[in-house]
């Protein structure tokens, strides 16, 4: 009667449409979870392949030095290859191409213990 008109008929199609929505949500969750698992496994496989390639090196065309990654080769070409050492020691004639080498040199050769 009036109660069903005010609240709405909760039997029939409304109940089934709610179940359909729940089933759709569940299917969407499973689909997304499956995609997540697939991409996670693919990422793991790619990382494993890259680690297995220990024989891959990047070689300088000018001097023949080899590096494990392209970034190191590019740094070598920019800073080292074919260039004279540009960082002088302030205490002696020593020169180097890398600041870290200069710091080590000064610490070992010119610091009193």
Task: Please tell me the predicted confidence (pLDDT) of residue 44.
Answer: 76
Q: Looking up tokens 């004279």, which residue turns up? A: 84
Q: Assess if residue 4 is contained within a domain.
A: no
Residue-number span of the structural domain to which 56 is assigned: 50-82
Residues 69 and 91 in one domain: no
Task: Please tell me the predicted confidence (pLDDT) of residue 6.
Answer: 47
84 close to 75: Cβ distance less than 8 angstroms: no
**Joined tokens for residue 83:** 């260039």
Q: Assess if residue 57 is contained within a domain.
A: yes
Decide which of 54 and 37 is more confident.
37
73 close to 67: Cβ distance less than 8 angstroms: yes
91: number of Cβ within 10 Å:
11
**Strands of the chain, DSSP E:** 58-59, 66-67, 87-88, 95-96
Residues 76 and 63 in one domain: yes
Question: What does pTM read for this prediction?
Answer: 0.43
Average pLDDT over residues 53-61: 81
Instruction: Please determine, for residue 19, whether its predicted confidence score (pLDDT) is greater than 90.
Output: no
What does the alpha-carbon distance between residue 31 and residue 46 come to, in Å, rounded to a whole number?
23
What's the structural domain count of the chain? Answer: 2
Q: Assess if residue 72 is contained within a domain.
A: yes
Give percent of the chain above pLDDT 90.
41
Instruction: Please determine, for residue 71, whether its predicted confidence score (pLDDT) is greater than 70.
Output: yes
Task: Please tell me the predicted confidence (pLDDT) of residue 36.
Answer: 77
Average pLDDT over residues 90-111: 95
């Amino acid at each position: 009667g009036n109660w069903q008109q005010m609240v709405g008929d909760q039997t029939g199609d409304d109940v089934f449409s709610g179940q359909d929505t729940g089933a759709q949500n569940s299917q969407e969750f499973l689909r997304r979870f499956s995609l997540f698992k697939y991409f996670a496994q693919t990422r793991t496989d790619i990382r494993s392949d890259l680690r297995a390639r220990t024989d891959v090196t990047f070689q300088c065309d000018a001097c023949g030095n080899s590096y494990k990654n392209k970034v190191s080769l590019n740094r070598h070409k920019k800073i080292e290859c074919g260039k004279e050492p540009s960082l002088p020691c302030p205490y002696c004639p020593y020169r180097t191409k890398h600041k870290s080498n200069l710091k080590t040199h000064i610490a070992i050769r010119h610091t009193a213990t």
